[in-house]
Amino acid sequence: MSVDKQPFKPLIAAFCCNWCSYAGADLAGTSRLAYPAEVKIIRVPCSCRVNPLFVLRAFQRGADGVIIAGCHPGDCHYTTGNYYARRRMTLLFSMLDYLGIEKERTKLDWISAAEGVKFATVMNDFSKEIHALGRNTRFGDLRCTTAVAQ
């Protein structure tokens, strides 16, 4: 272990729906609205495409925060996708909180294609929260360690 501390650089995975939030991210870029480089986007067709497994996978691979962004309720390109996403993610976030994962590490927000400013704001705020929490050490411990693998 090195003695001098590296400044904490979090890793944030952002799942963005193709029609609203990904376009919102593009608009933030076109408008040169800065947010931290640790936010990295994965494009999905709809927020309802985000399987809870993907979120777990990101945490398992070392993400410190995961955010899902989709069209506002009522505006989903596929009409109802974000409503399903909302339920799934509520239950997932609640379960992660129940398991002792800090509840600020997960977030769902609605960001439209016109909301470049909101995109940058949401990402800045989320990143601040993750910085405050520090590295995600708990998730990796919620595994089965008894056996011989490794």
Partner 1 sequence: MQRIGVFVCWCGSNIAAAVDIETVVQAMKSEPGVVYSTDYQYMCSEAGQGKLKDAVKEHGLTGIVICACSPRMHEATFRNAAKAAGVNPYMVEIANIREQCSWIHRDRAEATAKAVVLSRTAVAKVNLNTPLTPGTSDVVKRALVIGGGIAGLQSALDIAEAGYQVDIVEKQPTIGGKMAQLDKTFPTLDCAACILTPKMVDAAQHENIRIYTYSEVEQVSGFVGNFSVRIRGKARSVKADICSGCGLCMEKCPSKKAKDEFNMGLNNRRAIYIPFAQAIPNVPVIDREQCIKFKTGKCGLCARVCPADAVDFEQQDSIIEERYGAVVLATGFHTLSLEHYDEYQYARQPDVITSLELERIMNAAGPTGGKLLRPSNGKAPKSVVFVQCVGSRDTTGCGKTYCSKICCMYTAKHAMLIREKYPEVDVSVFYIDVRTPGKNFDEFYRRAVEDYGVRYIKGMVGKVVPEKGRLLVRGSDLLDDSQVALEADLVVLASAVEADASAKGLATLLTASIDTNNFYTEAHPKLKPVESPTAGVYLSGVCQGPKDIPETVAQASAAAVKVVGLLSKDKLLSNPCIARADELLCSGCSNCEHVCPYGAVSYIEQELRIHGRNQIRRIAKVNEAICQGCGACTVVCTSGAMDLRGFSNSQIMAEVDALCR
Partner 2 sequence: MHNSSCTVKETARKILESGQAERLLGWEQDSSGYNHAPAVFKSAGELDRFIYDRFCGSNLSKLLARLREAEGRTAVLLKACDRESFNLLVREHRIDPEQVHRVDIECSGMVDIEKLRNKGIKGIREITESGDELHISTLYGEKRCRSEEVLLEKCLSCPAVSSADAFDAVGQMEERSSLERYEFWKEALSTCIRCNACRNSCPVCTCEQCIFDNPRSGTAGKASADFFEDQHFHLVRVFHAAGRCTDCGECTRVCPQGIPLYLLNRKVIKDINELYGELSLEDKELGKGALTSFSFQDAHPDIIRKRTGDQ
Phi/psi at 110 (5° precision): -105, 120
DSSP strands (E only) in the chain: 12-17, 39-44, 65-70, 106-110
Q: How far apart are CA 38 and CA 10, in angstroms?
A: 6
70 sits near partner 1 (criterion: CB under 8 A): no
Per CB under 8 A, contacts with partner 2 among 49-78 are: 52-53, 56-57, 60, 73-74
Q: How far apart are CA 13 and CA 146, in angstroms?
A: 30
Chain residues in the site for partner 1 (CB under 8 A): 11, 13, 22-23, 25-26, 28-30, 32-35, 37, 40-46, 48-54, 57-58, 61-63, 74-75, 77-81, 84, 88, 120
Chain residues in the site for partner 2 (CB under 8 A): 52-53, 56-57, 60, 73-74, 80, 83-84, 86-95, 97-104, 106-108, 138, 140-147, 149-150
